[in-house]
Amino acid sequence: MALPNGASELDGVDRRMVEVLATNARISLKELAAEVSLSSPSAAERLRRLEERGVIGGFTIDIRPESLGYPLQAIVRVRPLPGQLHIVERIIQDTPQFIECDKVTGDDCFICRLVIRSMGELDTILDKISERAETNTSMVKATPVRRRLPPLVG
């Protein structure tokens, strides 16, 4: 089955490698090879091909913002005023408390995730944008689904 946008199918071993790495990106090559029943050189070659094909774009860690002193998170919908889109986008990019931002269709142009230490900090950050955009903010109470893999077709 052909997949859209030049995506390619993953066989069972590739899917398992991606699942293992999504759970623990720090796993050693030897342990990864054992998990997928391959030799280390074969696992290394498959891993290299997954990276070349763009299936794996990098290896990362999962940081918990509250452990770094950011007990609050907010989802901020941003609608730039006419002619302000690029300026607002730059403000978001330059504000490190915005830890994620998607440019979207619909009434709002951006949907962002913001980590903050206090409601006062939220006001300070949103004040930077308020002259150039309308915002709508929702405080995050819980995250029942953390970032996860999409279904791996095969």
CATH number at residue 102: 3.30.70.920
**Residue 76 within a domain:** yes
Shared domain check, 74 and 24: no
What domain range includes position 41? 9-52
Residue 147 in domain: no
> Total domain count for the chain?
2
pLDDT above 60 for 6? no
Instruction: Give the up-direction half-sphere exposure of residue 40: CA atoms within 13 A in the CB hemisphere.
Output: 5
Task: Identify the band that residue 152 occupies on the pLDDT scale cut at 50, 70 and 90.
Answer: confident
Domain assignment of residue 59, yes or no = no
Answer yes or no: do 16 and 81 share one domain. Answer: no
Share of the chain above pLDDT 90, in %: 81
Task: Answer whether residue 148 is part of any domain.
Answer: no
Is a pLDDT exceeding 90 seen at residue 144? yes
Q: How confident is the prediction for the chain on average, in pLDDT?
A: 92
Over range 50-79, report the average pLDDT: 93
Would you state the pLDDT for residue 2?
46
40/95 same-domain check: no
> Is residue 146 a part of any domain in this protein?
no
Q: pTM value?
A: 0.80
Reply yes or no on whether the pLDDT at 3 is more than 60: no
Decide if 19 is inside a domain: yes
